Structure 1
Amino acid sequence: MSIPAPLPSLPSLPDKTRKRLALWDAYRSYQYLEAGQDYDAFDVVPAVGRVPGSAIEWSDAVEERARDFEERHLVVSAHDHLSLRPADPHRFSEYRRQGREFTPYEGIAHSGVDLFFDGGPAAVSMIRAHTSWDWDDAVSDLAMRQADWAHQSLVAPVRTLEDAQRARAEHKVGVVLTLESATPIGNDVDRLDLLYGLGVRLLGLVYSESNQLGSGLADTGDAGLTVLGRRALRRMNDLGIIVDVSHTGDATALDAVRHSSSPVVITHAGARGLWPTPRMKPDDVIRACAESGGFIGIEAAPHTTITAKHPRHCLDSVMEHVEHCLDLVGPDHVAFGPDTNFGDHTAWHRVFAGLFGKDDAEPGVLPPHDEVAYVHGCENPAESVGNMIRWLFEHGYSDEEVAKLAGGNVRRVAAAVWER
């Protein structure tokens, strides 16, 4: 295992962070077992300080205002990946095969986020249609993750808004279990009930490549929801599982809005009007989700939310997508969904592009843009949402507006779906 980076001096840390570090108490995933005997030990990336000197320095006034805001509000990330990656990204498949992904407790403790919607362990590799991730794998991943969480004091599984408020009051970090695709249910809608029983409270219909429910954004044709997809959507509405169309095709997303009796959300994407890739959403899909009562969470995974004005992916380009969506649908329908992880995200993408091909093929020729080793200001879940909040304050947004983007809109949708 890698040696964690030294912590900053305690006086420089927010009160929230110091309380969480005390709860964390240096616990490492699966330490109730013996590494090398009960499971294979992997060298994983550090959860804090992977890229030295990458932190953004804000003015004292902005930093003080942001810290006060984070103390007073339940801050939410609509989509991040709370799992540590191997230091060698080429060993990822080997790491995944043993079914024990490490939770980055130290990084979670350093974030200002109170509630994470966790995209699931290794969601990209497992959900691809041409991998062997099946129902047994999905259940195993969900159960194994919670077995580890049961042996520590920092992370609290969240199934209701009351759970989230209780976790925050106890200085813990709440985590909502989600899956980016419904592929593992096969053609058995009753399996949605089982996912709900295992704690899943948000579910993507499709992950990029078409499945039995509908079409994915990586495919050339889009016929919308299938008959099975409509049945599954109704069951999700009845159970109280939030419907996510982040990786569906456009027609499938619009079909989901038409047939859903609950808000439909985009947890992690950006505006295609700013960057023309299928991974971004067109204005009509963003509007449709907003009109359903849902939101769009703006993501920051490397080489996604770029803009012509900011061809080098960074916090400013991410926030240009935020402002585009604010202009389009207003502050009641925009959220933060960084889609980041603790590890070399760019190297990880390269490995999977080599194994499976890209899932966001560029339509035509994109404007010139730079490749980056990481997104400055959004390198991992410990810093992305906090920097988005600080950027908004620096650019004149009010506490009321920031409160909606930093958690209020997600909580409103959760209340509408989970408590119906």
Structure 2
Amino acid sequence: MPDSQEYDRRVSASVEEIASAVRGRRLRAVDVVAEALERIGRADPVVCAFLEVWDGEALRRAGDVDARVAAGERLPLAGVPVAVKGPRGLRAAGPLIGAGCVPVGATSVPGPGTPWQTWGLGAHGRTVNPWRADRTPGGSSAGSAVAVAAGLVPLATGSDGAGSVRIPAAWCGVVGLKVTGGRLPSPDRTGLAAPGVLTRTAADAAAWWRVVSGPAGGAGAVPSFPVTATWSPDLGFAVPDPEPVALARAAAGRLADAGVVRLVRPPEPPLLLDPAPAWLALRTPGADPADAHRVRTGNDRRLDALFARTGLLLTPTAPTAPHGHDGPGDVYSTSLTWAFNVSGHPALSVPAGFGGDGCPTGLQLVAPRGREEVLLAVAREAERRGAVG
């Protein structure tokens, strides 16, 4: 084992720092992965982030990465431990494995009979928020968010059908990206769910995006700063609690003060129609699609008009603080996120500070379809200038 200072440095190392060290043969992938497995072994009985941990297979894959590096392969994510969402998550991890990532386990998702918007169920029990164990981490990418927030892995995959990456990211204090609908493969026949990632930093999310999106993924021009942005506390229909609105608005203000964005007034009338009828109709077999078509068409028109005059839309990520494990009551945790599953726009949650309960909250950034690189560039610049995180 390394000394404690060196060990702490490795725990907090970024995706690129790990990959660069393994490519340069200053670290072995086997050692990086063994340390991640040790962290998981110590912490997971408490946070319950994992359904399965693949100790032997992960060390074998890490050995393969070291052999590939020694043979001269330049792997962009060499030796980076990754957690994959749920028992089927490995099926979608091919590009990451090809780039040198090492899957270490499958993260928790809601268990049988579990309300989808509350929590996850891991091998050791109910998944807990690492900031406060009596609160949910959000769902359904619960374990992935917790694994990153607790420092067990630097990178975890997710999927987002109504906010399932962004809400856990907000409530666990990490970065969560949902990509443009249809841009990457998804098993969801409704078209609502899109792949995503949870990381500690926007730079780490960008490293994931470069790998999974292929050669054209980062082809868009890096925006010049400040990027124009519209702030909305409620998207015109939601009723969020005052505290997450205030924290997200303060975070948007810090982005503006740092010169990362320039805030412009939202259009009139109210920004969007409530997407709930559309989302529920699309998700429910046999439902009348008329409401879905009406709401989707109306919101697409409004979002097209918005993005014709501004580069980003900023909102709170979630309308409430993390609730207890008994559920959210009558409040939809998804009220500020699922509009962009219906519309397909990419969206990113970044940390926006802490509420009075000691739990994190998030600021949601939404961009035009296919402009993930704008979201990531803005978030990276905000981190560089100390405006988020």
Using structure 1 for the length normalisation, give the TM-score: 0.28
Using structure 2 for the length normalisation, give the TM-score: 0.30
Compare the two structures and name the one with the higher strand fraction: 2
